[in-house]
Structure 1
């Protein structure tokens, strides 16, 4: 009997603000800028990019281009995105 698999879509697991915050926290712990940008993009897509972009004061194109693997968000776009997510960036000693 062949092994059956199902398609995994992370957006199915980003429904609540708590799930979204945990996802971003895990990406921040890893420290990889590309992963952080991608995680924000995943949440933006889960919420709806058009609504997310409008609320953040960014264009849809900026959200798609910036918050993807390899994206390079500016501090301004990162601050706007985290504010929309109801999150606050902070710094702690490593």
Structure 2
């Protein structure tokens, strides 16, 4: 019998560029569950202990917050973004839509 194990994207998402692309795609989607999942993958790829330390939260609390059933606080998310060296910016929706139509 062949032994298999679940696919873990964090094991393969090694480049910071790929990690940024995943987070950007999740943010652009507007889906909170996808964003939480993307942050979970990137945090595990970089090392959950280090990300939790840099975000100012306990490792176990970060695992819970970014889990499928987790509901992270805004302060936790902001800490994770900072730990991952991701800066959030705001643009109006028409600016984003205009950029897409000009491509």
TM range (shorter): 0.7 to 0.9
Whether 1:41 aligns to 2:40 is yes
Partner residue, 1:65:
64
User: Max radius of gyration: which structure?
Assistant: 2
For 2:29 and 2:50, the matched residues in 1 are separated by 28
For 2:29 and 2:20, the matched residues in 1 are separated by 14
1:50 shift after superposition: 1.2
Partner residue, 1:26:
25
For 1:68 and 1:31, the matched residues in 2 are separated by 18
TM-score, structure 2 as length reference: 0.76
Partner residue, 1:87:
86
Unaligned runs of 5+ in 1: 1-5
1:59 shift after superposition: 0.5
Partner residue, 1:77:
76
RCO greater where, 1 or 2, for CA within 8 Å and sep 6 or more? 1
Unaligned runs of 5+ in 2: 94-103
TM-score, structure 1 as length reference: 0.82
- In the comparison of the two structures, how many residue pairs are matched? 90
1:22 counterpart SS class: helix
Greater than 6 Å deviation, 4+ residue runs = none
The alignment's C-alpha RMSD in Å is 1.9
1:89 counterpart SS class: coil
